[in-house]
Amino acid sequence: MSDTPPHGPLHAVLDRPNSYIGRSVPRPNVRRLLQGRGNYVDDIRLPRMVHVAFVRSPYAHARIDGIDTAAALNSPGVVAVVTGAELAEYCTPWVGVLSHLAGLKSQPQHAIAIQKASWQGEAVAAVVAETRAQAEDGVDAVQVQWTELPIVADMETALDDQTPVIHPDLGDNLAWQRSFEAGDVDAAFAAGTVVDEEFSFGRHTGVTVEPRAILSSYEPAEGRLTVHHSCQAPHMMQNIFATHLGLEEHDVRVICGDVGGSYGIKVHAYADEMATAALSVMLRRPVKFIADRLESFLTDIHARDHRVRARMAISESGKILGIEIDDLTGIGPYSVYPRTSGIEANQIVNLTGAQYTCGNYRAKTTVVFQNKVPMCQYRAVGHPIATAVTEGLVDAAAAAIGMDPIEVRRRNLIPDDAYPCTAATGLSFEGLSHHRALARLVELMDYDSLRAEQERLRGDGIYRGIGIATFIELTNPSAMFYGVGGARISAQDGCTLRLDAKGNVICTTGVTEQGQGAEAVMAQVTATAVGVTIDKVRVITGDTDVVPYGGGTWASRAAGIGGEAAVQAGKALRENILKVAGIILQAEPETLDIREGRVVDGADGNDRIGLDEVGRIAYYRADTLPKDFQSELVATRHYVPKLFPFAFTNGVQASWLEVDIETGFVTLLKHWAVEDCGTVINPQLVDEQIRGGVVQGIGGALFEHCLYDDHGQLLNGSMMDYLTPMAAEMPDIEVAHVETPTADSELGAKGAGEAGTAGAPAAVLNAINDALMPLDVRLNIHPATPERILAALGTVG
What pLDDT score was predicted for residue 46? 61
Please check whether residue 601 is in contact with residue 639, taking contact to mean a CB–CB distance below 8 angstroms.
Answer: no
d(CA 329, CA 307): 7
Distance CA 218, CA 675 (A): 46
CATH number attached to the domain at 41-149+211-259+266-299: 3.90.1170.50
Q: How far is CA 505 from CA 58, 449, 544, 618, in A?
A: 53, 52, 20, 15
Q: What is the pLDDT of residues 671-713, one digit of tens each?
A: 999 999 999 999 999 999 999 999 999 999 999 999 999 999 9
* Whether the predicted pLDDT of 389 surpasses 90: yes
Residue type, 133: A
- The answer to whether the Cα torsion of 37, 43, 45, 50 is positive or negative is negative
Q: Which helix (H) or strand (E) covers residue 494, if one does?
A: strand 493-499
**How buried is residue 728: exposed, middle or buried, by Cβ count under 10 Å (0-12/13-18/19+)?**
exposed
Q: Is residue 171 classed as helix, strand or coil in its secondary structure?
A: coil
pLDDT tier at 23 (50, 70, 90 boundaries)?
low
- 13-38+492-639 CATH pick, 3.30.420.40, 3.90.950.20, 3.40.50.300, 3.30.365.10: 3.30.365.10
Residue 31 pLDDT level (bands cut at 50, 70, 90): very low
Give ∠ CA 700-705-709 in degrees, rounded to 5: 160
pLDDT of residue 45: 54
Lowest-confidence segment of 41-50, 123-132, 303-312, 343-352 by average pLDDT: 41-50
Return the SS3 of 6.
coil
Instruction: Look at residue 679 and give its three-state secondary structure.
Output: coil
Residue 6 has pLDDT above 90, yes or no: no
pLDDT tens across 126-144, in order?
Answer: 999 999 999 999 999 999 9
Closest Cα to residue 388, out of 353, 343, 433?
353
Type and span of the H or E element at 766: helix 755-772
Q: What is the pLDDT of residues 703-743, one digit of tens each?
A: 999 999 999 999 999 999 999 999 999 999 999 999 999 99
Q: Report the pLDDT value the prediction gives residue 20, as an integer from 0 to 100.
A: 57
Q: What percent of the chain has pLDDT over 70?
A: 94
Asked if pLDDT for residue 37 goes beyond 50, the answer is no
Range of lowest pLDDT (119-133, 286-300, 351-365, 637-651): 637-651
**Kindly report the CA angle at 667 between 666 and 673, in degrees rounded to 5?**
105
Mean pLDDT of 425-452: 97
Q: What is the reported pTM?
A: 0.94
User: In what side-by-side order are the strands of the sheet with 224-229?
Assistant: 78-83, 123-129, 50-56, 287-290, 213-219, 224-229, 252-255
CA distance 765 to 771: 10
Which residues in 113-135 are b (16+ Cβ under 10 Å) and which e? Answer: bbebbbbbbbbbbbbbbeebebb
Are the beta carbons of 236 and 270 closer than 8 angstroms? no
Output the pLDDT for position 4: 47
The pLDDT assigned to 43 comes to 44
Q: What is the pLDDT of residue 19?
A: 58
Would you state the pLDDT for residue 644? 87
**Is the domain 384-476+646-793 a CATH 1.10.10.10 member?**
no
Q: Per-domain residue ranges for the chain?
A: 13-38+492-639, 41-149+211-259+266-299, 384-476+646-793
What count of other Cβ atoms lies within 10 Å of the Cβ of residue 209?
9
- Over residues 360-387, the mean pLDDT reads 98
Element housing 473 (H / E): strand 463-475
Among the listed residues 565, 569, 561, 570, the one whose alpha carbon sits nearest the alpha carbon of residue 751: 561
- Tell me: the pLDDT tens digits for 655-664? 999 999 999 9
| C-alpha span between 772 and 765 (Å, rounded) | 11
What is the Cα–Cα distance from 37 to 42, expressed in whole angstroms? 13
Q: Which comes out higher in pLDDT, residue 766 or 47?
A: 766
Q: Can 13-38+492-639 and 41-149+211-259+266-299 be said to share one CATH topology? A: no
Pairing of strands 50-56, 123-129: antiparallel
Element (H, E) at 438: helix 434-445
Q: Omega before 420 cis (within 30°)?
A: yes
Per DSSP, which regions of 572-702 are E strands? 592-595, 598-601, 607-610, 634-639, 647-659, 666-676
Which three-class secondary structure state does DSSP give residue 5? coil
Give 9-40 as a DSSP string: GGGGGGGSTT--TT-----HHHHHHHHSSSS-
What digits encode the pLDDT tens for the residues 554-610? 999 999 999 999 999 999 999 999 999 999 999 999 999 999 999 999 999 999 999
Instruction: Pick the more confident residue, 32 or 221.
Output: 221
Task: Quote the pLDDT of residue 75.
Answer: 97
The greatest distance separating any two alpha carbons of the chain, rounded to the nearest whole angstrom, comes to 110
Residue 217: closest CA among 173, 277, 168: 277
